[in-house]
Amino acid sequence: MMQFTCPHCGPRDQAEFIYERTVDAVVSLDAAPEEAMKSLFTRNNPRGVDEEIWRHTYGCRAWMVIARNRVTNEISATRAVGPEALP
């Protein structure tokens, strides 16, 4: 089983986290419908490292961005995002 290092709680099993989407799939609220549809549904599925948005749902409930290799599942970086990331 994969382990993620939560910026707030430390190392935890992946089962505590919920995957949301990749960072490049985030769409601005004022985006044109065509742009939003293209960004959400016609993106590439690259091999290699991609930044993904996850939530520590069964822990501190904080959002984070995890840089994960889609082939090997190796995690190279984790950073907090949202209000919890503020000092």
Question: What pLDDT is stored for residue 72 in this prediction?
Answer: 93
| Whole-structure pTM value | 0.78
How many residues are listed for the chain in this entry?
87
Question: What pLDDT is stored for residue 80 in this prediction?
Answer: 93
User: What is the spatial distance between Cα 20 and Cα 14, in angstroms, rounded to a whole number?
Assistant: 13
Per-residue pLDDT of the chain (87 residues; tens, 9 = 90+): 789 999 999 999 999 999 988 887 788 889 999 988 887 787 677 789 989 999 999 999 999 999 999 899 999 999 999 877 766
- Cβ atoms within 10 A of the Cβ of 58, count? 12
Question: What pLDDT is stored for residue 4 in this prediction?
Answer: 93
User: What is the spatial distance between Cα 14 and Cα 59, in angstroms, rounded to a whole number?
Assistant: 11
Q: Where do runs of H (alpha helix) occur along 1-87?
A: 33-41
Assign domain 3-85 to its CATH architecture: 2-Layer Sandwich (3.30)
Three-state DSSP class for 54? strand
